[in-house]
Amino acid sequence: MRTLTTLLQVMLCFAIVGTAQAAPAASAAAGTTFRDCPSCPEMVVIPAGAFTMGTLARHRVATEVPAELEPVRVTVTHPFALGRYEVTRGEYGEFAAATGRNGVAVKCRTWVEAVQGFRDLMIPWDAPNVPRNPTPRHPATCIDWHDAVAYAAWLSAKTGRHYRLPSEAEWEYAAKAGTDTLRHWGDDPDAGCEYANTNDRRTRARYPLAWAGMNCDDGFEDVAPVGSLKPNRFGLYDMIGNVWEWAEDCSSLTYHGRPTDARAWVWDGGCKRRIQRAGGWSTGPERTRSAFHGDGSADDRADFAGFRVALDLDPAAPPSIEPVAVAVAAASTPSGDATRAAGTVFADCKDCPELVVVPAGKFMLGSSADEYEHDVESGETPALAVEIRKPYALGRFEITQAQFARFLTESGHQTSHACARLPSAPALPARCISRRDAEAYVAWLTRITGQRYRLPSESEWEYAARAGTTGARFWSARDSHEGVSISRACDYANVYDVSARALNLSQQFARCTDHYPDLAPVGSFLPNGYGLYDMIGNVREVLADCHTKSYKGRPADDRAWSWSGCHTTVIRGASFRSRPFASRSASRDGAEFDAPEAVWKDVGLRVAREL
């Protein structure tokens, strides 16, 4: 702790008395300030380190965004530079003049005196309503996310260095500056007027805002020139208040599954909202915390929103994560694939898994809050409209122990867990299959057949499980909920029922008997409408997607939602241990890649194949 305090004191000294220098090397001391050109933003070197992203439970804050209350430990592996101030009107104006943005009317949310409130108006960024007399030292506002990214790219081209928006993790790390209080000056918002330009007494005297504010006076009724108040311990100004600041990340409702380093969490396919941090001149205490997880549509502009830039110092540093919606490259089309109709059953070799052709189509991924059985906590609610763009093949059955044993013998693969290698019955589904084991199996199957095998995406899996149905379970739109008869389940699914009561699980059970207290041979129950067996029950199935507890931002098509640095996997399908509520087409679960063996004891796999 003494070392950290000394480091912060040194950095603050640099920030206050250090003169701006030319761009430093990656080894430059934390707190060093510099500019790459006379009109470039002044930057501060931020050290590598680790911190807790989010708000600790002991603070007991109220928030409309659950992510903030799900703290994760994040490591900032490389030093980086961050704007000492928000990008100013003077700095942005040079870019705007060079790119034809000056004088161009854009939709911007701004204060309108005639209605005494905020409204969307068509105004140029350089002729704002607020502040009434802007100077080159005021922050640039009425800037959307695309404008901010374009400015960073222009600055990169001008200087030959890699400027960008900060990731959300970098931003919060820099805002906290080694503290674990709600704000970098402490927990009390009313003690912050020396540091933050927010909705204070002076603002409320000028603007009749309808929400709570700080009980202090920061000296400004609206937007202030950058650096007008005190910096945080890293020598950064206005990290809370003045204007909201864009970050690189896509918006999410949860931090579950996010990378544990400081790279931005972004993905292709549907990322329409981006993170905004800091709060603005009109923001009250409920949103002006270091960890508050705000967002906005990427094309939103407002007189209370701007940005600051980040800069990579180490050329070996990893780029921003581009978690992508993985579209598997199509292999050459083998003879017969193009003519296989939906429902066709085939296999690529004598001992290969049987496959069923699944047609293209559209469906709702997840469950609606209007449905009696739905689960907001797991992320399945609200539902997402998804299009399966092309036919694909899916395993008719779960991979059997005989099929998996052949793979182990021929490949020499060492499974993650010993229970995956225990001898059992060849027709039973393979179990204790980790994500690593499953990926190794489909890679081996690809090698021996020359076809493109893979794990199914979550969208493909649920689409196939539903097989055109929209109810909670593919066999009935109105079968049951906890504690009520679920008699038809035992015709279709090996779940936790009367036969399995000997397991003594402390949960509800299906009110029927399937005659299997544990695993059942694959194909022992009736198939769904696509001719697929055990899509619910027997073993849970590991999928290609990374797991997070929200569908917000995921691609609205058949691609897997996966990103670099992912450490969690989606698991679907329920098992012989699953209670009725978990035995639905939309039910979802997840696990850490390195979760202990007990987590995987009822997990197997089913394969997909490109056509």
pLDDT (0 to 100) of residue 216? 94
Residues 250 and 359 in one domain: no
Residue 329 in domain? no
Residues 280 and 366 in one domain: no
Residues 62 and 147 in one domain: yes
Residues 399 and 483 in one domain: yes
φ, ψ of residue 67 to 5 degrees: the values are -55, -40
* Interhelix angle 401-411/435-449, nearest 10 degrees: 80
pLDDT (0 to 100) of residue 270? 53
Residues 345 and 296 in one domain: no
Residues 348 and 303 in one domain: no
Query: Pairing relation of β-strands 244-250 and 305-306?
Result: parallel
Residue 374 in domain? yes
Q: Which two tokens stand for residue 597?
A: 């063996």
Residues 361 and 286 in one domain: no
454, 544 contact by CB (below 8 A): yes
Closest CA to 261 of 178, 306, 321, 183: 321
Residue 108 in domain? yes
Spatial distance between the Cα atoms of 37 and 54, rounded to a whole number of angstroms: 35
Residues 307 and 160 in one domain: yes
Q: Which two tokens stand for residue 74?
A: 């994040």
Residues 349 and 218 in one domain: no
Residue 12 in domain? no
Residues 412 and 558 in one domain: yes
Residue 6 in domain? no
What residue type is 504 in one-letter code? N
Spatial distance between the Cα atoms of 516 and 20, rounded to a whole number of angstroms: 74
Spatial distance between the Cα atoms of 96 and 154, rounded to a whole number of angstroms: 10
pLDDT (0 to 100) of residue 552? 82
Q: Which residue has the tokens 């430990």?
A: 73
Residue 2 in domain? no
Give pLDDT < 70 ranges for the chain: 1-27, 63-64, 268-270, 314-336, 338, 477-487
Residues 390 and 460 in one domain: yes
pLDDT (0 to 100) of residue 319? 37
Residues 292 and 425 in one domain: no
Residue 518 in domain? yes
Torsion sign (Cα): 539, 542, 548, 552: negative
pTM exceeds 0.85? no
pLDDT (0 to 100) of residue 26? 59
Closest CA to 180 of 99, 59, 288: 59
CB atoms within 10 A of CB 1: 6
Spatial distance between the Cα atoms of 36 and 158, rounded to a whole number of angstroms: 9
pLDDT (0 to 100) of residue 15? 37
Residue 595 in domain? yes
Domain boundary among 312, 332, 358: 312
Domain boundary among 291, 312, 333: 312
For residue 518, the enclosing domain spans 341-609
pLDDT (0 to 100) of residue 555? 87
CATH code (residue 226): 3.90.1580.10
Number of structural domains the chain divides into:
2
Domain boundary among 312, 333, 355: 312
